[in-house]
Amino acid sequence: MVSIISIKSKKLSGEIFVPGDKSISHRALILGACAVGKTTIENLLESQDVLATLNALKELGVSIKKNQKIWEVQGNGLGSLITPNKILNLGNSGTGVRLLMGLVSGCDITASFIGDESLNSRPMKRVLVPLKQSGAEIQSDNFKLPVTIKGNKIPIPIKYTSILSSAQVKSCVLLNGLTTTGKTSYSELVKSRDHTEKMLHFMGASIQSKYLKDGSNRIELKGLPYLKSKHFKIPNDPSSAAFPSAVALIIPDSDIKIKNVCLNDLRTGFYESIREMGGFIKFINQKSISGEVVGDIHVKYSKLKGIVVPQKRVPSMIDEFPIFCIVACFAEGETIMRGIKDLRNKESDRIKEMVDNLNEFGFSVKSTTDSISIIGNKKVNPKKEIAIDSKFDHRIAMSFLCLGLLMEKGIKVNNAETISTSFPGFYNIMKSIGANFKKYRVIE
C-alpha cells in the first residue's frame, strides 16, 4: 500500500504539463484497431486504465507497439477482431470495458470481461440493454461483471434513447454500429462529451449530430464506414488539470499555467463553474489539433463565492465534482450541486465519500440521493492529521491530497497507488509547483 501525506503549502507557481487525455486515449486505441492501416498516437496516456484497454485489444488480435514516443496501432478494418484465449481483465477501467463491449458485440467473436473489485460492482445494464437490440448474446449476473458477449457478425442497427447523459453508453452503441449495414441512432437528453463523434468524423465516417426541438441530442451513424488510419496528437487532460487548478485557486498568491489542455466545451464545465464563482481562469493560446480545441489554462488565487451549478452543466464536469467540492469549501456562502446521482456509480460512491470525509474535517456539507450542498469555511483546520481511505478511487485520493495543502497538520491518504489509473506523475508534477507532499510505502 502506498500512502501520501500532504501538508499546508505556500503559494503554487510555475508552468506544468499534465498527462494526455484519458477519454481520447482509450478511443484512439480502439478506433485505430477499426481503421485500415497504421494509426499513430502521440501523447497517449500511459495510465493503468488505458494500458488495460491496450492489452485487451492485443488479446483481441490487434498489433500495438511503441516506437520511441509514438504508439502504433495496426488496424485491419471493421470486424477483424479474434476470439481471445483468456478473459479480458479491464482492471479499474469503466471506459475501457464499456467501449470494448460495444466493439466486440459487432464482431463474429465471443469474449468475456472482468475487472477489479470496484469495476465488478459497477452497473453495466446501461450498455448491455442497448447492445441486446443488435442481436448480441449476453451472459451476466444482475447486469454486472463478469460479462460474456457473443457478437453478431452483422448487427441489427440500434435505435436507442438514453435517460443518462453518458459518453460511455453513447460510444458503446456507436462502436457496435460500425459493423451494421444500416444506420445507428442514439439520442440523449443532454449532450455528453463528443470525442467519439469527432474522431469518427476525422477518420471518414458519415456521422451527424443535431439538437432536437425538445433540447435533446441525436447522433446518427451510417454503418460500414471506411475508417482511414490517422495520426492522433492527444491533448492533455482537463480532468487532471482540475487538481492543480483547484489548489491554485484557494492557496493565496498562487499563479500557475497548465499547457496544451483539451478545451472541448463539453469538458470544461468545472472551469465555467469556477468563473461563475469569481475565479481567475483564462484559456489562452487556443488552437485546433486532431479535431479538438487545445490551449493553455492560466489560474490565479481568487476570492470565491458559492453558486448553484446548473444541472445542464453536470455532464461536462461529472469527473470534476470531487475536486470541485474541495474548492466549494473555501468559497463564501453556499454551493449547491444537483442532478449528480451518477456519482454514486463511479469507482466509489463519490457523494458519500466526499460528504462523510469533509464532515470529519468540520465543513458544513449535506447531501441527498442526487445532490451535495456545501457552506464554505476557510477557518476549518483540524488540530491533528486526518487519514483518508481512498477506497481505491483515484479522484477521491487526489481531491483530499489537494485539501491537505491547506491544513496545518496535513492529510494522509491511504491506497494512493490508485492515482496511477488516471494521473501518473501526479505526485511529482504537484511537487514541482510547490505542493508539500511526502510518500511512503507500507509493506503488508
The runs of H, that is alpha helices, within 83-194 are 94-105, 117-120, 125-133, 167-177
Instruction: Report how far residue 226's alpha carbon sits from residue 4's, in angstroms, rounded to the nearest whole number.
Output: 48
All 3 cell numbers of residue 318? 461529472
Rg (CA), the chain: 21
Question: Phi and psi for 215 in degrees, rounded to 5?
Answer: 90, -5
| CB of 396 closer than 8 Å to CB of 351 | no
Is 253 annotated in the active site? no
Instruction: Report how far residue 72's alpha carbon sits from residue 92's, in angstroms, rounded to the nearest whole number.
Output: 24
Instruction: Report how far residue 33's alpha carbon sits from residue 179's, in angstroms, rounded to the nearest whole number.
Output: 13
Q: Of 116, 296, 319, 393, which is the active-site residue?
A: 319
Nearest residue to 121 via CA among 149, 148, 94: 94
List all residues 6 or more positions away from 175 whose beta carbon is below 8 Å from its beta carbon.
30, 34, 99, 102, 103, 106, 196
One-letter amino acid at 394 equals: H
Sign of the dihedral through C-alpha 416, 422, 424, 427: negative
Residue 235 per-residue DSSP state: P
Burial 154-188 (b: 16+ CB within 10 A, else e): bbbbbebebebbbbbbbbbbbbbbbbbebebbbbb
E strands of 290-442, at which residues? 292-300, 308-309, 334-338, 364-368, 371-375, 386-389, 411-414, 436-441
Q: Let me know how long the chain is.
A: 444
Helix and strand numbers (H, E) in the chain are: 13, 24
One-letter amino acid at 271 equals: Y
Strand 36-42 vs strand 2-7: parallel, antiparallel, or unpaired? Answer: unpaired
Active-site residue list: 319
